[in-house]
Chain A
Amino acid sequence: MEVNNPSAPGDDEVLVKVTAGEVEYFSVLYERYVGRIYNYIYYRTGNQFEAEDLTERVFYRALGRISSYRNMGVPFSAWLYRIAHNLVANWHRDNSRRHEVALEDFSQVLGHGEHPESTLIATMENEELIKTLRELPAERQQLIILKFVEDLSNAEIAVIMGRSEGAIKSLYHRTLLSLRKEGTQEED
């Protein structure tokens, strides 16, 4: 969803226009980030409908508060991810008393149009991984999603999560170790 056109205006340029009242320019930012925010929320909730609902809320909230947005050297995407992170945290808190999200909801993760048999095998393999992933603390889930789904560098993740790059590297290492430990425990 990222706009790779070099002539496309940068986020800062668009934000100046949007905060000056030219709200129609918000659609440029929307097109640029809707896929990434959706992905992030989808992996955190495991449900297509919840992901759509929360993505909608993220962009409504962002648009509603855009006039108060101040560029403090943090990318706009980091601001959006923080809104998404807070909304997902609220969603988990509200849902904790209700039910666990079915792992079957993750079936969309698999490639569209694949052969049914390979899809089924991949679903079973993925279920295990997603199950383990969802048992991790929220910040570790966030790190893994940003790294592998969003394909961001440690430096970019550090900005989004409001930590130093070193802290992210260390957290990443510990997360992989814990995932490995979980994996070996299940094999035993």
Chain B
Amino acid sequence: MSNMTQFATTKDKNLDMILSVEKNLQRKLRPVSPSPLFVSRLENRLTNYPRVSVERYPRLHLYLVALVSMLTSLSICWFFWRFMFKRS
């Protein structure tokens, strides 16, 4: 067998091998479906995203309350300080 024929045969063999792997993957790898319950539950959670994010991160709620209280105290202090300063 000449070198050229040998080269062509090896090339054909490689191509056949690749095609068989490709066919095997096409046959065996199939899409899977997520459970409908999971899909609808997640959709509901995403629809209520802002509310859910507070549920998922309960500390976020605490931080917001702390921030509002701090701002309220600061405004009260500022109001009294101004009131006293004006009187004097």
Residues of A within 8 A of B (CB): 23-24, 26-27, 30-31, 34-35, 38-39, 42-43, 51-52, 55-56, 59-60, 63-64, 108-111, 122, 125-126, 129, 144-145, 148-151, 173, 176-177, 179-180, 183
Contact = CB atoms under 8 A, between A and B. Distances in A.
B46 A108 contact: no
Nearest to B56: A60
Given A30-B46, A63-B46, A51 B21 contact: no
A2 to B, nearest CB: 11
Contacts of A108: 32
Contacts of A183: 21
B31 interface: yes
Given A59-B42, A144-B29, A176 B34 contact: no
B43 A27 contact: yes
A31 B34 contact: no
27 contacts: A27-B43, A31-B43, A34-B42, A35-B33, A38-B32, A38-B34, A39-B32, A43-B29, A51-B34, A55-B38, A56-B42, A56-B45, A59-B42, A59-B46, A64-B53, A109-B30, A111-B30, A122-B28, A129-B25, A144-B29, A145-B29, A149-B29, A173-B18, A176-B21, A176-B22, A180-B17, A180-B21
Contacts of B6: none
A-B pairs with the 5 shortest C-beta distances? A148-B29, A38-B34, A180-B17, A176-B18, A180-B21
Interface size class of B (residues with CB under 8 A): 20 to 34
B31 A60 contact: no
Interface of B: 14, 17-18, 20-22, 24-26, 28-35, 38-39, 42-43, 45-47, 49, 53
A30 B43 contact: yes
Given A31-B43, A59-B42, 11 more contacts: A27-B43, A27-B47, A55-B42, A56-B42, A109-B30, A111-B30, A129-B28, A148-B29, A149-B29, A149-B30, A180-B18
